[in-house]
Amino acid sequence: MAHIQLSNVSLEFPIYGAGKRVLKKELIRIATGGILKNDDHRIITVKALNHLSLDIPNGMRLGLVGHNGAGKSTLLRVISGIYEPTGGTLAVEGHVTPLLNMMIGFDESSTGYEVIHIRGLLQGLSPKEIEERMEEIARFSELGGYLEMPIRTYSDGMRMRLAFGILASCTPEILILDEIFGAGDAHFLAKAKKRMEEMIHSSSIVVFTSHNMDLIRTICTHVLWLEAGSVCYFGEAQEGIEHYENNAV
């Protein structure tokens, strides 16, 4: 069964050349929300995650809440294997499907079909699996002949259709979600929402971040409230949302 366990996980980013002025340090603190520290060489380090210990078992739908820079997206990237912890250990059982930056692999000169191949490989699909899903992806995106054209000719809504059409062809075991819906007409957004609900329902574990508390309530069984990379609350969703809304400054 799917399972995620973080034991005392920390993640630090060195910021080179930013240690000469207090103003620079303050701007970095505001921008990142992390904990800042200096070493002997005047290098500022942002501690994006601070000794997190979490157990995310099969069946959990975990919502991440907190202000911008609290560490939510960083945690999603650690679980997805994009960032490696600088301290502690992460153990993941099950295949992770991250829906984070939907536009990765979108080369302006590539056609829609070429982007499908690139994004499919990034999602862990084999060339054979991509070919088998090509018709389904083309049908879901509703882009028709535009799939033969370069991405530079696409509107934002068309790019979203293509990106989500590729993602919607996956059957995730561990689904990692950031706030992903942007441009798109009402018809396609309704279809995308329905497919997303199906993916969430069929996934063994979902880890999701959003500033929309109604969406967190709908999707999640549990909530993790992060501030400056540290845990303020980890537990049942409704209680966590109430605690966050009543106490977050």
Q: What is the pLDDT of residues 215-228, one digit of tens each?
A: 888 889 999 999 99
CATH tag, 3-94+209-247:
3.40.50.300
Q: Per-residue pLDDT for 23 more than 50?
A: no
CA nearest to 28, candidates 11, 10, 43, 6 = 43
String of b and e for 196-228 (b: at least 16 CB within 10 Å)?
A: beebbeebbbbbbbbeebeebeebbebbbbbbb
Mean pLDDT for all residues in the chain: 85
Q: Tell whether the model's pLDDT for residue 91 goes beyond 70.
A: yes
How is residue 226 written in tokens?
Answer: 């992060």
Give whole-number Cα distances, 3 to 21, 98, 123, 124, in Å: 44, 15, 20, 19
Which of the four pLDDT bands, split at 50, 70 and 90, describes residue 16?
low
CATH number of 102-201: 3.40.50.300
Write out the residue limits of the CATH 3.40.50.300 domain(s) in the chain.
Answer: 3-94+209-247, 102-201
The structure's pTM equals 0.80
